[in-house]
Amino acid sequence: MNAKTKSARKGRRAGLPARLPRGARNTNKSSKEKSRIGVLIADDHSVVREGLVSLIQRKADMRVVGEASNGLEAVELWKRHRPDVTLLDLRMPELDGVGAIKQIREHDENARIVVLTTFDGDEDIYRAIQSGAKGYLLKDVPREALMDCIRRVHAGETCVPVHLAAKLAERVSGETLSAREIDVLKLMSKGKSNKEIGSALFISEGTVKSHVKAIFSKMNVMSRTEAVANATRRGLIQL
C-alpha cells in the first residue's frame, strides 16, 4: 500500500471528506442556489430596485436573478432567467405592468407574478389580477409581509391583503364603464368640451352627453371634476 492510499484511508477514518476525482465539480453550491427562490425585480426607480435587491439577498431562501427598469426589459429577462417569482411595478415605461404580465403569461400561464406598486385603485387591482398576477401589494408594505408574500406565491397561493381584496370585490360587483365611456372620461380629463369630445371620437354631441350622463350615474358623481378625480383614484384613467 503506497503513502497516498494510506493517507486517503486515514482521512476517511478521521471523518474527513474524500477527495473528488480530478476534473469533477462540487455541485453542492449549485444545488443550494437552485433550492432558493429566484426573484426577478422590475421597477423603473433605481432606488427601489436597489432596496429590494438588498432586502431579498439577505434572505437565506431567496436570490435575485435579474433587475429590469421597464416592462419590455422585464419580459426579456423573464424569458432568459425563468424566475420562480417576478416582483413587478404597475406603472413603467415602454410597457406597463399589466402588459408585461400578459406577455409573460403568453410564455407560461402559470408564471408567478406579484405586483408591488403605489397605486391602490380598484381598477388597478382588477386589471392586474385579471391579467394573471398572483399577488398585489403596496410599496408601504412591511418588509417581512413582502417576503412572506413572495414565499406564498412561490408555493402556489395568492396574496392580496384584505383591504385591497375588498376594493377588488367592490370593483367586480359594481357597474362597469364601457370602453367608450372610458374614452370620454379620458378626454374629459383633458378639459375637452362635449363638442370637442364628439369630434375626437367621431360621434355626435348628443351621444357624448348620453355617455357623460351614464358616467355620472355609474360613478355616483355630480360633476366632471368629481368624475375625473374618482376615475384617477380608481385607476380607470391616468393623468
**How confident is the model over 119-170, as pLDDT tens digits?**
888 788 888 988 999 999 999 999 999 999 999 999 999 998 878 877 777 6
Q: Quote the CA–CA distance of 229 and 239 in Å, as a whole number.
A: 10
pLDDT digits (tens, 9 = 90+) for 48-93: 999 999 999 999 999 999 999 999 999 999 999 999 999 999 999 9
CATH architecture of 32-173: 3-Layer(aba) Sandwich (3.40)
Q: What pLDDT, on a 0 to 100 scale, did the predictor assign at position 31?
A: 55
Q: First CA to last CA across the chain, in angstroms?
A: 83
Domain residue extents for the chain: 32-173, 179-234
CATH class of segment(s) 179-234: mainly alpha
Residue 17 or residue 35, greater confidence: 35
Q: What pLDDT, on a 0 to 100 scale, did the predictor assign at position 12?
A: 42
Residue 78 or residue 30, greater confidence: 78
Q: How confident is the model at residue 16 (pLDDT cuts 50, 70, 90)?
A: very low
Q: In what order do the strands lie in the sheet with 113-117?
A: 62-68, 37-42, 85-88, 113-117, 135-138
- Which residue in the block uniquely carries the three cell numbers 439577505? 58
Q: How would you classify the pairing of strands 37-42 and 113-117?
A: unpaired
Exposed e or buried b per residue across 53-70, where buried means at least 16 C-beta atoms within 10 angstroms of its C-beta: eeebeeeeebbbbbbbbb
- Which residue in the block uniquely carries the three cell numbers 408601504? 140
Burial of 228 (0-12, 13-18, 19+ CB in 10 A): buried
